[in-house]
Structure 1
Amino acid sequence: MTYRPILRFKRGEQTALTNLSDAHKAVTKPLLNISSHAFNPPPGGDTDGAFDQRIAQDADRLNSAWAGHSAAVDLGDIDPDARCAGGVHPVRHFFDQIAAADDRANASPVLRLASDDAYVAAVASVCADYGLSPVFRMTPDDLAEPDIGDVVREMLDECGAQPAGADFVVDMGYIATKGRSVITARGALAAVPFAADWAALALVAGSFPENLSGFAVGTHIVERHEWAVWLANRNAAGRVVSYGDYATIHPIPVEEGLDPRTMNPTASVRYTFEDTWILLRGQGTRTRGGQGFAQFLGHADTIVAMPQYRGEPFSFGDGKIMRIHRRAEGQGNLETWVTIGVNHHIAEIAGQLAILP
């Protein structure tokens, strides 16, 4: 079964994807959220060269990290009024850059219910010119709309696509509990238009806490509710439903929109094991008199000593933990440990899915 994580396309996640084994890349189809890059045209202008460069850079980085493998790309968080040079829509600019590379990712554009007409038109042009089909990403609230079937059909028609050639992702976002979420997921899957016809139908959710203020410094076991919710619905909608999650990060990370100059992020580690995360909660990295990033040395030591540690060969992330434990390399920083956590998580989930009956 293909694993369908939703990931931010930031440097930590990019490095995690780049360093997955070929075997794990082959069974993983991430849905990547492109950052809402600042769009600041000069007075009297309507384009921003720096914005264009960032969109192209994201495409180049995806080609580098994921060449030959499949991914869905969501640019829906970008300013809807932003345009690249020549009035080109950012979606078009991104996929033109993807296609220009000889060694490229097999990327598909994402559509949401909230996608405006210009965005849908840009996706349609990309699908027509590059022989692609869109990936639909809908929430339970979206699927409760009485005309959702008509809207999805209109989008398919504009893109020249059929459900049999496209994927559909039910994105539950953050879930706090299992019981109610199982019911919500079942209802959402039952409301998916043409449910039996999609090339793939995935259920995605994330239950990692929004912040760690409720956890004392130390080691904690945090249940991954999304795994249980999917297990209860893996054969819902009269077909196989693929599994997806938000890896080791809350669906809407608390740092989004905050000024990094005023933040004091904790040196904390998330290590996925079966249906849990092992959370090593540290102190703030800027706490006066604290150990700062050096706390990650102790975290590496703790993980290696745990019976749940998968061992150095398991993944790039696990190998990096061992090297930090041995002091063969430095403790790293927050980005380093996002890479470690996400890379290990994908390997762990791929292994879990491979052994399910």
Structure 2
Amino acid sequence: MTLSRKHYVPVIKWKQGEQKALEALSPALKESIIPVIEIPPIDWDFENEVPKKTIDEHLQNFGDTLLRCWSQGAFIDLLYIDANERMMTGQHPLAYILREARSRKNPLIPITCSIYDSHYNTEVVSANVVDELGAAIRITEKDFDSLQLTIDNLLEAIQLNPDQVDLIVDYGYADPNHIIRTSFFITGLINSIPYLNKWRNLILCGTGFPKDLSGVRADTIGQIERSEWILWKRMMQGKTAIREPIFGDYGISNPVPFEGDPRVINMSANIRYTAEDKYIIFKGKITKRFGASQYHDLADQVVQHPEYSGRNFSEGDLYIYEVSQSNDGPGNATNWRKAGTNHHLTYVASELSTLFLP
């Protein structure tokens, strides 16, 4: 699988909102998107101080859900699953997921990184024996000062050469206030990657989306720079990197999964809307106190905004329009994650398809 700079590699947290956002994409857009599917952590029961589910329950129906939502090929990463977890059968969770996907003729490319143990990497090796899809290596900030050693150890562990591996350079959160500094750092990092021109694909991934929206006041429309997009464009247009990376991001969320206690967290109604070089945040009040009906007004604010893409742009945009007209909604967190993510994926894929046209 060789990607071009018009391909898009979004990191998708495998929850219902993001799943449905993928499912609702147009067939044409799906051809240009290769998602990184992250299995989220098992929800925690804060009252009883135990996990809410077993690993079997957590991964139940994975294969069927994947087939329904995405059958175009994808990466898979178990970053947030404890290394000691095993299925009731004793099977490693990665082996289970890969088998579920394979049995539906929808094989996945496993991702490994420096924190995974030998049991995990053994499953990566086994997957390539069966599927012959190679693997991916994900390097993050903690690896940046020892790239050669980290990469050589991982290549040895998964028994592959760089030309059989997709290298994902994941720099995580990029503060929009430090774009120029980060741009120089990322360019230097890419240019120092071992075996730079031998990797099957080189993918650059990060985000400017913060951990929370506390920086946006209630009942206002705020903006957050899409630092990941600005950084990538600077690199591509300035031709500063020896090898051009494929673009990846985290959609409309931060890399760190939200794990707060819902009993004490006061979430505000908000719509996250991607536009040129920025995320526009339409923020209401605390939903526990003021209810979900405020989404009708927030949706109307989106529709009236000059950077609204129009109801025919994506399924997410159509949903926003219908809620603004009170023909649907007001919706819940899952509905709005689906709408915002579906719009975002459509927007970015469309940007990439036209950015470098003559």
Both proteins in one fold, TM over 0.5: yes
Counterpart position of 1:43: none
**How far 1:132 moved relative to its partner?**
2.1
Matches within 5 A, 1:260-299: 260-287=262-289, 290=290, 292-299=291-298
Larger RCO (CA within 8 A; separation ≥ 6): 2
Query: What is the alpha-carbon distance in structure 2 between the residues aligned to residue 258 and residue 144 of structure 1?
Result: 32
Counterpart position of 1:54: 58
SS of 2:285's equivalent in the other structure is coil
TM-score by length of 2: 0.89
Counterpart position of 2:80: 77
**How far 1:225 moved relative to its partner?**
1.1
Alignment gaps of 5+ in structure 1: 41-47
Question: 1:49 and 1:244, CA in 2 relative to 1: closer, same or farther beyond 3 A?
Answer: closer
Counterpart position of 1:315: 314
Q: Structure 2 counterpart of 1:66, which letter?
A: W
1:30 aligns with 2:35: yes
**How far 1:160 moved relative to its partner?**
4.2
Query: Contact (CA 8 Å) 2:296, 2:330: kept in 1 or not?
Result: yes
SS of 1:312's equivalent in the other structure is coil
**How far 1:127 moved relative to its partner?**
1.6
**How far 1:122 moved relative to its partner?**
1.3
Counterpart position of 2:337: 338
SS of 1:172's equivalent in the other structure is strand
**How far 1:233 moved relative to its partner?**
2.3
Query: What is the alpha-carbon distance in structure 2 between the residues aligned to residue 129 and residue 38 of structure 1?
Result: 32
Counterpart position of 2:161: 162
Q: Structure 2 counterpart of 1:285, which letter?
A: T
1:302 aligns with 2:306: no
Count of matched residue positions in the alignment of Structure 1 and Structure 2: 340
Query: What is the alpha-carbon distance in structure 2 between the residues aligned to residue 305 and residue 171 of structure 1?
Result: 36
Matches within 5 A, 1:77-116: 77-102=80-105, 104=106, 106-116=107-117
Query: Contact (CA 8 Å) 1:143, 1:191: kept in 2 or not?
Result: no
Query: What is the alpha-carbon distance in structure 2 between the residues aligned to residue 18 and residue 276 of structure 1?
Result: 25
Alignment gaps of 5+ in structure 2: 1-5, 46-51
Query: What is the alpha-carbon distance in structure 2 between the residues aligned to residue 183 and residue 140 of structure 1?
Result: 15
Query: Contact (CA 8 Å) 1:49, 1:85: kept in 2 or not?
Result: no
**How far 1:263 moved relative to its partner?**
1.6
Q: Structure 2 counterpart of 1:338, which letter?
A: R
Considering only aligned residues, what root-mean-square deviation do their CA atoms show, in Å? 2.1
Question: 1:170 and 1:100, CA in 2 relative to 1: closer, same or farther beyond 3 A?
Answer: same
Query: Contact (CA 8 Å) 1:189, 1:236: kept in 2 or not?
Result: no
Query: Contact (CA 8 Å) 1:140, 1:184: kept in 2 or not?
Result: no
Q: How high is the sequence identity, in percent, across the aligned residues?
A: 30
Q: Structure 1 counterpart of 2:135, which letter?
A: P
**How far 1:115 moved relative to its partner?**
1.2
**How far 1:195 moved relative to its partner?**
1.3
**How far 1:188 moved relative to its partner?**
2.1
Q: Structure 2 counterpart of 1:341, which letter?
A: G
